[in-house]
Amino acid sequence: MIALQAMTPKAIAEHFDTTRQAVSKHLRILTECELVKQEQQGREIYYSLEIDKMKEIDKWLEQFRKIWETRFNQLDKVLSTIKKQKK
Amino acid sequence: MTNSLLFDFTVDKATKTVFVDREFAADLSLVWDAFTKQEILDQWWAPKPWASKTKAMNFEVGGRRFYAMVSPEGQEHWSIQEFTSIRPTTNFEMRSSFADKDENINTEMPSSDWDLNFSEQNGSDSDPVTKVSITIKHKALADLEKMIEMGFQGGFTMTLNYLENLLTTLSQRK
**Phi, psi at A63, each rounded to 5°:** -60, -45
Identify the pLDDT of residue B34. 93
Q: What is the ipTM of this complex?
A: 0.76
Number of domains within chain B: 1
**Residues of chain B found within 8 Å of residue A61, distances taken between Cβ atoms:** 11, 144
- CA distance to partner chain A, nearest, from residue B7 (Å): 8
* CB-CB under 8 Å, B20 with A68: yes
pLDDT tens by residue, B37-81: 999 999 999 888 889 999 999 999 999 999 998 988 888 989 999
**Residues of chain A found within 8 Å of residue B46, distances taken between Cβ atoms:** 71
Calpha distance B34→B62 (Å, rounded): 20
The model's pTM? 0.71
Which residue in the set B25, B34, B148 is minimally distant from A60, CB to CB?
A: B148
Mean pLDDT for the stretch of residues B99-113: 89
**Residues of chain A found within 8 Å of residue B157, distances taken between Cβ atoms:** none
Q: Which residues contact A44 (CB under 8 A, 6 or more apart)?
A: A8, A10
Identify the pLDDT of residue B161. 47
Confirm if A46 and A39 have CB atoms less than 8 A apart. Answer: yes
Test the A interface: residue of B37, B152, B158 with most A CBs within 10 Å: B152
Q: What is the DSSP letter of B160?
A: H
What range does the domain containing B40 cover? Answer: 2-173
Calpha distance B31→B12 (Å, rounded): 26
* CB-CB under 8 Å, B144 with A60: yes
Size of interface A-B (CB pairs under 8 A): 72
* CB-CB under 8 Å, B48 with A79: no
The mean predicted confidence, pLDDT, of chain A is 80
Confirm if B25 and B129 have CB atoms less than 8 A apart. Answer: yes
- CA distance to partner chain A, nearest, from residue B44 (Å): 5
**Residues of chain A found within 8 Å of residue B18, distances taken between Cβ atoms:** 64
Q: Which amino acid is at B63?
A: G
- CA distance to partner chain A, nearest, from residue B128 (Å): 11
Say if residue B154's pLDDT is above 50.
no
Q: Which amino acid is at A14?
A: E
Q: What Å distances lie between residue B97 and B76, B78, B104, CA to CA?
A: 15, 9, 10
Confirm if A48 and A6 have CB atoms less than 8 A apart. Answer: yes
Q: Which range, of A1-5, A78-82, B132-136, averages the lowest pLDDT?
A: A1-5
Calpha distance B42→B53 (Å, rounded): 6
Mean pLDDT for the stretch of residues B141-160: 56
Domain containing residue B123: CATH number: 3.30.530.20
- Residue B152, burial from CB neighbour count under 10 angstroms (0-12, 13-18, 19+): buried
Identify the pLDDT of residue A45. 85
- Please report, rounded to a whole number, the percentage of residues in chain B having pLDDT higher than 90: 46
Which residue in the set B9, B30, B47 is minimally distant from A79, CB to CB?
A: B30
Q: Which residue has the higher pLDDT, B125 or B170?
A: B125
